[in-house]
Structure 1
Amino acid sequence: MAYGVYVGGFGFGVLAHAHDFLTHGWHPYEWGVPVLDGFWTALIGLDTLPIILILTGWRRLGLAVGLTIMILDVSANHYALFVLKFQPFAGPLMLQSIFLGYVLGCIGFLWRDRPV
């Protein structure tokens, strides 16, 4: 079940970023700085990595990659909200922060689950 929440959370991220890409084109976040626009667009692929790794048995690598992605994503969204003053990120940032808390809270338990 814990892996299901993990995979579901990253799956939601893939869908959200893919929706933005399909709706707004190659630069869906052009209001932000170019490096953030590129990062958020790249999350379509990056968010897929932990899903694939976990489902193919590379669970520890999937957990580590997922944690790294979430720390970077929440940090980028904090920057967008508090420095760039992009208010529409307030709600999604709260949800992402909760998911980051889940990832951090369960990684120690899941890490021991399987040595791969």
Structure 2
Amino acid sequence: MLYGACVHLIELLLWGFRSRTWAPLWLNGFWNSLIVLDTLSGALLLKGRRSGLYVTCLTTFADLASNLYAVYGVRHSSLGAGAADVVVLLAFGLIVFATAPWPHRRLARARL
């Protein structure tokens, strides 16, 4: 997750808020918000918090949905047409969702 935050931060620094000019403004905004969401989930996971796993799963799901929308809905493309980053994200998502039950049992609950 921290790697993803760094990637989005570098894109923001190099190319600005609209790093993907072909994408709608709200989609660029969401991708930029991943700097915060990915950092939050990574920090919570490093602290051993179960909430980090929840944020990771929600963020991964939202990121997958936004990228699939970008490929199919905005660019009217397919996964095989230059969308290698989305294929990698799909593989990462499958790993996250398949392995989430294992750390869920071992991570600490938030103390209220």
Identical positions, percent: 28
Contact 2:17–2:28, Cα closer than 8 Å, also in 1 = no
Which structure shows the higher helix fraction?
1
Question: Where does the alignment leave 5 or more consecutive residues of structure 2 unmatched?
Answer: none
Normalization by structure 2: what TM-score?
A: 0.86
What code does the residue aligned with 1:38 have? Answer: G
1:63 aligns with 2:87: no
Q: Which residue of 1 aligns with 2:86?
A: 93
Greater mean deviation of Cα atoms: 41-50 or 80-89: 80-89
After superposition, the Cα gap between the structure-2 partners of 1:54 and 1:89, relative to the gap in structure 1 and judged at 3 Å, is farther
Q: Which residue of 1 aligns with 2:3?
A: 12
Q: CA RMSD in A?
A: 1.7
Q: Which residue of 1 aligns with 2:74?
A: 84
Aligned pair count reads 106
Tell me how far apart the structure 2 counterparts of residues 46 and 15 of structure 1 sit (CA, whole Å): 12
Tell me how far apart the structure 1 counterparts of residues 82 and 104 of structure 2 sit (CA, whole Å): 31
Q: Which residue of 2 aligns with 1:74?
A: 64
